[in-house]
Each structure stands twice: as structure tokens, then as C-alpha cells.
């Protein structure tokens, strides 16, 4: 605080001005603030003796004591603002016993600081150095007790206002997302904004998404091969496509070529649930991504680009790839790697992601002999790798592989199923467009429900509906929502069956020409056999039971030991082929010979 001897002394004033967004520049721009602050200086008049009560501090017209932070938010820490940091620096570095100015004047408190704690800390800093603080808009002068009290009250109100704005903005954003509106700078890859702000399929990008799924699922291409294919065919990346197709303002900001696709980007597309109509929000807090368990699902549906069954198959395949061990050190290919799953240690409550995979291993028959036996065992078989140890003994590789290959041969040599399936393809293709149109219409109806609920509530508030009628209308809307969702699931199922059928058309054409002959010599071309089996089979569940006295196993029998006795082969083929398989006596669930620990 200044002392009493300065009452009749001219006070030197520094101006602090801050502007942030374009809106603030229009309302509280630099010229407006500067004009108001200079007017305050003139309005204080003269002191006894004719001296000015206030003058602009500094030399050269005082410009060096006008501190301006442009494009700076009111929530930015004061010491991070270049001009304010310079203001503090001038005070701190002033010669001992002097100060560069006697007073700091601002146009409005929220131009200065929006949190009361920050505001009071700065005012304390000024007082420690004998400098007064005045806010023109609120008529606050900290040289008086009343002025400091008002400063505290207004600071509380300013802080409350900004927190209220944040809550309103967050609530408005959440409500907008629930209504199905696109948030962010541009629409997600595969979509554009519709006239009402919702997701609308952008076919040019949607075709690339479908291509990525087809290449991964049906052609068994890796994400690296797919990304290379897109680069070689000059397909614009999602970021480049958004700029090229005017989905967002501005130019392409990527440093890489416009056709540069990262494998991680391809994988992200394969895992994106938005393409099956699910729209998540509340996925991050600040810049930190939240775990998926904390994400929220919008009740509004997004038009789906990929059917749910194709998407599920892709996720299963992605999961398999995490566990695959196709080749050992000696380049041995385990044909069923990534397909076998263990039921012996499966707990549906504990194992949320499903049964654990089996993997292939080898064991040398006599040290230094160079002869090996190959087998499959559960991923929980070895102590130290899991807190749970599976008691199921391994399966001999040649035994289980020969059995599965024989089942595949019997399937592939059933030309009746393939021929009838081809006929069905021709008749169902025409239905897909009609189903997709109905699917989009249903999604639009589902997305209209929040608005319809809001209108009903407004009618009640205006007195057009009593409370009983309101409850009845809400119940009817809930029933309508359930009916819409049921019909949508049925349509998605029909579309998925047709999509799956088209995906296997190429395989069916090659059955008699390639695959059957290939299976006759699995030792010579194991990689092709591996690819074929993984194209036909979704998973093979290995069931086990307790070892009995009559069982013969390699090594010593152990307490609680389990032995594989049955498998369930789940095929990827459409249901019409599976039904004909069953009628031909080809069961997908068969018994297998008992395994032996590391045995032959």
C-alpha cells in the first residue's frame, strides 16, 4: 500500500490489457480497453498545485508501461502470459527503494483473472511492492477497505460464472452427442455431417472401409499389407481425405504424403465400433484417454458401414493374431495355432475375453538326437506365466491336425452345398440395398426419439398434457424404441448373412479346384493349408475331463489331471452350408483321441 504522504502526489499508472478469442476482440478489443483506461486517468483531475492526479507511467508517451496480452485466455496462468510476466519482471527488477509505477489499472476483472485465488494472490503481490490496483468496469480501488471487499465478492461471482459456463457447455455437448450430432472439427472417416448435424455415410470413404475389412477378413491380409496396398493405389489418408473433400476447413497439415497410411490407422479402423452404429462419448478427460469401461454410449445410432457379424469376426481374428505362433525356430508351422481354445480352465465370470488359446510347442526325443515331437498345450499350462495353471495335458500335433484336415476335406468335397449356395447368392444380392435402406430409415426413427420425448415434455410443461398423459406417452415411446431396436437387429442379421455369403464366394469357387487337392499333401504345403483352415474355421474348443484309471497317458498320472476327449469345431461358413453338412453326416462336434504330455 502507498503511504499517506503520497495523497497529494501524482501517481504513475501502468495499463494491463488482455484479449483472447475473436468474440472478445469484438466486445473488449484493445482499442476499447485502452480508450477506457486512458479516460480513467484523465477523469481523476488535478491535485492541489495543479498537478495531474494520475499520469501514464514511463517515458516515450508511456507506451512501455502499457502491457498487452493478445490471444490469451482468462484461465491461462498469469506467469505464462508474456505481457503480464514482463509487468511483474519490471516490478521485481526495479532498483531498491523505487518502483516503475504506482498503480495497475485493468478494464474488467475477468480480463485480468477468472479465479478468485489467482486474483487475490496478484493483489497481494502488488501490495507487497506498494502498488495499487483498480478495475474500471467494477469501480474497484484496492487502496480502500471497501474496494478490497467488493473485489473479493466480484471475484467469487466471476469464478462461479466461468464454472457455470463450463457445466453448461459440457451438458450441452453431452446432450448434442446423445442426439446423434457430430462433435469436433470434422466428421469421422466414412461419414459427413448431414444438414441436421448427424452422421451421414460418405460413400467414397465408406468403400475404403469396406475394402479394408474385406482384405483383412476374406483375403487374410495383414494391416501392414493393407496399408501398403492403400499407399500403392494412392488412396488419400483419412486426414487428407477430410481436407480434400471439404469435410473441415483448412488445408492438409500432414508432413507425410497425402496417401500415407500407417498400419496402426488401418488397425484402428478395424476396431472402430462407430462403423457398426455405436457412438461413444466421455472417452477422455482433458488430454487423458479414459479406460473403455468409463466410456458412455450415445442412445442415438450412427448409420452402419459394416454389419455386426463381420465386425465380430474381424475382432475374433485380431484377437487370434495376438496369440498366434505360426512358425517355431525350426520353421515348423502349427496348422491350428490361434484356433484352439481351452474349455478345461475356462471360467465365464473370470475370463471376460473368452477361453485361453492353445499354442504349439516341440520336445526333443533324446538330448542331441535332432528328432522332435510336436504338440499343443493350453497357454495356462506353465507355472509363472499365469496365476492359474491349467490341468489339461497337451495334444499331439499330428493327431489333432490330421483329424481337422480330414474334416475339412469332407466339407470341401461336398459340391451340392457349394452349388446351392451359389444359386442363393444371386437371389439375395438384390435384397441388400432394400435392407440397407430400411436400416437407415430405422436409425433415423431411433435418433428422432430424444427429440420426440423433449416435445412431449414441453407439451406437459405448457399445460397441453396432464401428468398421466405424459407418463402414457413416455411408456409408448419406450415400447416404440424397443420395437425399433428389435427390428434393427433383425435387419442387421439379414445383411450380415448376405455379406458373409459374398465374402465366401471366392472360397467356394476354389474348393474343388485348389483346396481339396492341397489337403492331400499337408506336409509339402503347410502354409497354404494353414491359410485355408483359418479361412474356414472360427475356433476349435477343446473339452477335457478327469483322467480315469483306464486312460493311458505318457508319463506319470497326476492328481486332478485332465485329458482332452472332445472338440467343437466352429466354422465361419454361412448357415445353409452348415445345415447341408449336417445332413450329409459331417458333424462339427467330434471326439478326438486322448492326448499325451509331450507324447507322440
Catalytic residues: 20
Residue with cell 465361419: 572
Sign of CA dihedral 170, 171, 172, 177: positive
Q: What is the DSSP letter of 249?
A: S
In whole angstroms, what is the distance from residue 593 CA to residue 405 CA? 15
Q: Say how far apart CA 531 and CA 522 lie, in whole Å.
A: 12
Whole-angstrom distance, CA of residue 298 vs CA of residue 274: 11
List own/partner pairs for 56-63 with CB under 8 A and 24 or more apart.
56/12, 56/13, 56/15, 57/12, 57/13, 57/14, 57/100, 57/101, 57/102, 58/12, 58/14, 58/100, 58/101
| Sign of the CA dihedral running 237, 239, 245, 250 | negative
Query: Which of 123, 132, 131, 125 shows the shortest CA–CA distance to 151?
Result: 123
**What DSSP line would sit under 558-581, residue for residue?**
-TT-EEEEEEEEEE-S-HHHHHHH
How far apart, in whole angstroms, are the C-alpha atoms of residue 398 and residue 393?
15
Closest alpha carbon to 268 in 214, 326, 331, 189 = 189
70: enclosing H helix or E strand = strand 66-70
Q: What are the angstrom distances between the C-alpha of 182 and each of 154, 198, 370, 533?
A: 37, 6, 62, 42
Residues in Cβ contact with 229 at an 8 Å cutoff, skipping those fewer than 6 apart: 215, 221
Query: Which residue has cell 448435424?
Result: 197
**Residue for grid cell 488419400:** 236
CB 358 within 8 A of CB 341: yes
What does 318-365 look like in DSSP terms, one character per residue? HHHHHH---B-TT--B-TTTTTEEESTT--TTT-TT-SPBEEEEEEES
Torsion of CA 339, 345, 350, 353, to 10 degrees: 0
What burial letters (b/e) apply to 412-427, b meaning 16+ CB within 10 Å?
bebeebbeebeeeeee
Q: Please choose, from the candidates 569, 589, 600, 533, the residue with its C-alpha nearest in 3D space to the C-alpha of residue 394.
A: 600
Amino acid at each position: 500500500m502507498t503511504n499517506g504522504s503520497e495523497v497529494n502526489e501524482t501517481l504513475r499508472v501502468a495499463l494491463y490489457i488482455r484479449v483472447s478469442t475473436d468474440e472478445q476482440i469484438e466486445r473488449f478489443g484493445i482499442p476499447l480497453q485502452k480508450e477506457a483506461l486512458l479516460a480513467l486517468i484523465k477523469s481523476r483531475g488535478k491535485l492541489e498545485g495543479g498537478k495531474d492526479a494520475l499520469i501514464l507511467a514511463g517515458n516515450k508517451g508511456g507506451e512501455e508501461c502499457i502491457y498487452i496480452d493478445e490471444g490469451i485466455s482468462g484461465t491461462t496462468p498469469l506467469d505464462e502470459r508474456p505481457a503480464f510476466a514482463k509487468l511483474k519482471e519490471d516490478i521485481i527488477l526495479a532498483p531498491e527503494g523505487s518502483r516503475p509505477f504506482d498503480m495497475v489499472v485493468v478494464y474488467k476483472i475477468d480480463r485480468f483473472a477468472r479465479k478468485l485465488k489467482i486474483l487475490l494472490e496478484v493483489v497481494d503481490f502488488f501490495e507487497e511492492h506498494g502498488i495499487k490496483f483498480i478495475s474500471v468496469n467494477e469501480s474497484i480501488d484496492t487502496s480502500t477497505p471497501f474496494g478490497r471487499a467488493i473485489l473479493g465478492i466480484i471475484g467469487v461471482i466471476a469464478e462461479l460464472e466461468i464454472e457455470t459456463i463450463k457445466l453448461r457447455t459440457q451438458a450441452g455437448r453431452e446432450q448434442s452427442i446423445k442426439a446423434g450430432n457430430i462433435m469436433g472439427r470434422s466428421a469421422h472417416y466414412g461419414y459427413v455431417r448431414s444438414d441436421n448435424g448427424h452422421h451421414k455415410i460418405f460413400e467414397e470413404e465408406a468403400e475404403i472401409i469396406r475394402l479394408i475389412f474385406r482384405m483383412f477378413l476374406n483375403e487374410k491380409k495383414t494391416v501392414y499389407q493393407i496399408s501398403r496396398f492403400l499407399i500403392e493405389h494412392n488412396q488419400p489418408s483419412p486426414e487428407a481425405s477430410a481436407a480434400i473433400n471439404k469435410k473441415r476447413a483448412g488445408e492438409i497439415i500432414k508432413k507425410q504424403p497425402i496417401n500415407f497410411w500407417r498400419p496402426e490407422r488401418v488397425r484402428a479402423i478395424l476396431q472402430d465400433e462407430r462403423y457398426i452404429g455405436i457412438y461413444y462419448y466421455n472417452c477422455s478427460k482433458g488430454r487423458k484417454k479414459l479406460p473403455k469401461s468409463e466410456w458412455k454410449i450415445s442412445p442415438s445410432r450412427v448409420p452402419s458401414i459394416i454389419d455386426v457379424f463381420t465386425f465380430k469376426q474381424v475382432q475374433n481374428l485380431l484377437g487370434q493374431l495376438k496369440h498366434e505362433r505360426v512358425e517355431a525356430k525350426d520353421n515348423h508351422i502349427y496348422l491350428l495355432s490361434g484356433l484352439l481354445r481351452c474349455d478345461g480352465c475356462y471360467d465365464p465370470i473370470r475370463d471376460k475375453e473368452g477361453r485361453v488359446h492353445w499354442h504349439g510347442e516341440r520336445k526333443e526325443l533324446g538330448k542331441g538326437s535332432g528328432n522332435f515331437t510336436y504338440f499343443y498345450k493350453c497357454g495356462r499350462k506353465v507355472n509363472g506365466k499365469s496365476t492359474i495353471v491349467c490341468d489339461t495335458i497337451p495334444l499331439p500335433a499330428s493327431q489333432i491336425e490330421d483329424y481337422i484336415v480330414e474334416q475339412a476335406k469332407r466339407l470341401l468335397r461336398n459340391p451340392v452345398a457349394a452349388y446351392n449356395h451359389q444359386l442363393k447368392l444371386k437371389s439375395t444380392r438384390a435384397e441388400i440395398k432394400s435392407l440397407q435402406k430400411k436400416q437407415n430409415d430405422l436409425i433415423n426413427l431411433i435418433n428422432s426419439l430424444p427429440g420426440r420425448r423433449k416435445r412431449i415434455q414441453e407439451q406437459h410443461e405448457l399445460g397441453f398434457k396432464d401428468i398421466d398423459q405424459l407418463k402414457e406417452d413416455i411408456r409408448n415411446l419406450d415400447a416404440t424404441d424397443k420395437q425399433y431396436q428389435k427390428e434393427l437387429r433383425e435387419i442387421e442379421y439379414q445383411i450380415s448373412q448376405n455379406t458373409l455369403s459374398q465374402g465366401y464366394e471366392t472360397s467356394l469357387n476354389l474348393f474343388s479346384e485348389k483346396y481339396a487337392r492341397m489337403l492331400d499333401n499337408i506336409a509339402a504345403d503347410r502354409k497354404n493349408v494353414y491359410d485355408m483352415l483359418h479361412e474356414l474355421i472360427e475356433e476349435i474348443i477343446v473339452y477335457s475331463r478327469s483322467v480315469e484309471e483306464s486312460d493311458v497317458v505318457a508319463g506319470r498320472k497326476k492328481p486332478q489331471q485332465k485329458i482332452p476327449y472332445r472338440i467343437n469345431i466352429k466354422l465361419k461358413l454361412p448357415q445353409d452350408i452348415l445345415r447341408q453338412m449336417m445332413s450329409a453326416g459331417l458333424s462339427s462336434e467330434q471326439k478326438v483321441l486322448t492326448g499325451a504330455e509331450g507324447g507322440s
